[in-house]
Amino acid sequence: MIILAYYKFETIFLVLNLLLLCHLVSAQWKKILKHDAFPEHKIKLKEPNLCDKTVQQYSGYLDVNNGKHLFFWFFESRNKPQEDPIILWLSGGPGVSSLQALYYELGPCSVNPEGNGTIFNPYSWNNKASIIFLDQPTNTGYSYGGDNVSDTLTAAFDVYALLQIFFQEFRNYAKLDFHIAGESFSGHYIPALAFDINKYNHNHKAIKNFIHINLESILIGNGHINPLVQFKYYPDMACDSSYGPALNHSTCNQLRKDCKKCIKLIKICYASKNVTDCINAGNYCEDKMLGPYQAAGKNIYDIRMSCGNINSCYPDSQNIAKYSNREDVKTELGVNSSFVYKRYNDNIRIQFLNSGDIIRSFDIYIPTLLKNNIRVLIYAGDADYACNWLGHNAWTKALRWSGTKGFNNAKFTPWITASGNYSGEVRAFKGFAFLRIFESGHMVPHDQPVSSLDFFNRWIFKKDL
């Protein structure tokens, strides 16, 4: 009897401990959000008090059937959060954390040189807009999980689920204008996600409890959108840009020769849609168009800079990683204290390359967006080599939509900021605009914070650039 009582007591003690552990785990989350239409998805939500203590914040994870866990961080507008638009920011890579953009480009704060605190950013895009920064796909930034995503369309669906669950909980945000912004490989992510949102908006009545998302526009900075057209302009950017030649004469000649084969391989990929053909094109084009440039010690993100590697060009990235790996910061955001944050996960880029996704064109979704009155802004810092402005100028003119003729006939006009600076040139027709930004590399909001805030505020409030 004593032995039985002992084991009974031990069992009760174990159960109580498990219940206490479950309570402690769940206690760190302010709320758990679910949606009937997405039974495999849920959001775990916290209210951190970091970076910009003047605004309401939410952070947490979108959990997908316990296989994928996507981290996000939301900041309300500093201005009128009940009226100002909502922005979803997606960084590229693929595999670059959106916290890089938060801390280094357009977020409410930057990380100090010691990596132990933050500095208020007066030029943040949340001055007049609320912003969601999302680490996606899986294993990017604070996001984690065993289910690897290796293509854009799969990644887009999870993001759509996040928005539906978030807006179901926060109906006050759901009624506001919504925009998707990002840079680099988000030139793939954003058109695909916007296309999905537009499609579901037109069919949401057939699906229970779907919320109409007021998608107003997309903004893509120095994006990787149409490789077939954009790769043609690497030789011109390396050898004949307004900043002068970055490579010597013989290297330029070889670059032009290799570019012809690169374009040929991309055309084969597009025609066959065969994964192997697309992998071959991606590998060859990246090797031949980026390799010689990097071998010359040039920064692919800013033709004006020479550096041995990306870390030496952008030492602030190390400060961001140091701050993001602080235990107190991770605890405040709802991130496991043992998790190791990395700015960039190259394995994701390799996975997208091996699926053939990297070399595919995503401008095919843009005509449908324009047809449905969803405005499109393509902006590019003109010192970027990786996704250079010459390629953007070319593919925006090559795009086939109802306004092709009007857009191509439109002349570049000076972009004069509110402070009176001649900061770039813009070509626009109806809801489609291409903005060339002077003296800026790949990360425009960092290089030109005042000017970037100017064009951003004008665009989201439907004023002429």
The yes-or-no answer on residue 124 being catalytic is no
Q: Which of 91, 98, 124, 184 is catalytic?
A: 184
Q: Which of 384, 392, 423, 452 is catalytic?
A: 384
The yes-or-no answer on residue 392 being catalytic is no
Contact 261, 284 (CB under 8 A): yes
DSSP states of 157-217 as a string?
Answer: HHHHHHHHHHHHH-HHHHTS-EEEEEETTHHHHHHHHHHHHHHHHHHGGGSTTPPPP-EEE
Work out whether strand 130-134 and strand 41-46 pair parallel, antiparallel, or are unpaired: unpaired
Contact 306, 298 (CB under 8 A): yes
Rg of the chain over CA atoms, in angstroms?
A: 23
Beta bridge partners of 118: 111
Q: Which of 179, 188, 442, 446 is catalytic?
A: 442
Query: Which residues, other chains included, contact 13 with Cβ-Cβ below 8 Å and sequence gap of 6+?
Result: none
Residue 373 backbone zone (phi > 0: left; psi -120 to 50: alpha; other: beta): left
The yes-or-no answer on residue 110 being catalytic is no
What gap in Å lies between CA 121 and CA 275, rounded to an integer?
Answer: 44
Which element (helix H / strand E) includes 268? helix 249-272
Considering Cα of 107, then 109, then 111, then 116, what sign does the dihedral take? negative
What gap in Å lies between CA 25 and CA 456, rounded to an integer?
Answer: 40
Catalytic residues: 184, 384, 442
